[in-house]
Amino acid sequence: MLVLFGGDTSFNQAACGKRCYNALKRVMWHNDGPAEDVSSLTVLIDWMTDGDNYERYRGGDAQSGENKTALAQKISRLISQKGIKTVRTAKDITNKIASLESSYRSVVDFLHGSGQGITDETSLRDKILQICPEYYELHDTMNSRVGTRAQLLNTDPGYWKDDTESDGNSSSSETVPQTKKYQKDDLPSQPALLRLKEAQLVHQRDFQHAELGVREQELHLREKEFSAREKQLESEKLLAIARVGEANAQASKLMEEAEHWRQQRRVTLLRERKKLLDEGVSKDEIDFLLPLVSDLEHVR
């Protein structure tokens, strides 16, 4: 077949399709540099967070004449100057920036949604880094951009400005992945999206009201439990006071009875001693047999 079309009969190399070619040249952004702290990703983030570079890239300086492609080409040259052998084209760079913006927006949406229920700071940080590993490096730079604020939870019409599209002064050849459902021009043709947003907001508001009701009930039950416990403690306190008073009264009564019997014993003793004296028994013998002070009284 090759001979019929004028080809070389020695050609025997298997063809490599587009998927094979792309798989061979694809290199990860975070580990393609000459050192651990140098990679295409670190160079890109350093450029984005330096001064007003990211604002210029997003079209903040319309008078400069720079478009995204031109700036991306500068970044590409910076990557090469850092000794990184992997070639990053302008398209690769614009696509990577769009990917970073998307993952950053995902964290913003998460923090305005389910992330509000996470109170443990370590767990929250781990979840943020799972969604966007570069979040904390990009936060100061991207936080002020309208296009990187919360999406589904933002009802401000100004949010839908053309901030996620390529700027007007960017190259028409760029093919940066964008989320078209958030573009201003597409909203009139997608009323279902507006209804979905409205339903989401209503659902979230109802859920928050229900959650607030549950918390109020829990608080009311805790207050009742605390009040009951307080009354129980007060009752126990009064009971303890009553028991102490009763014990003191019993002790006083026993002391009075003991004193009474001690006096009775002394009277009886004196009578017996007088009787013996009248009978002629000597006082020494009486003191020996019937002493006025007993050994127990000496001890006491």
Structure-model confidence comparison of residues 117 and 280, the more confident one: 280
Task: Enter the tokens of residue 130.
Answer: 């799972």
Are residues 103 and 127 in contact, defined by beta-carbon separation less than 8 angstroms?
Answer: no
Q: Is the pLDDT of residue 283 over 90?
A: no
- Mean pLDDT of the region 147-164: 42
Structure-model confidence comparison of residues 285 and 174, the more confident one: 285
**Ramachandran bin of 65, using left for φ above 0, alpha for ψ from -120 to 50, beta for the remaining angles:** left
pTM of the model: 0.44
Whole-number pLDDT of residue 161: 38
Whole-number pLDDT of residue 294: 61
Whole-number pLDDT of residue 6: 52
Crossing angle of the two packed helices 90-112 and 40-48, in degrees rounded to 10: 70
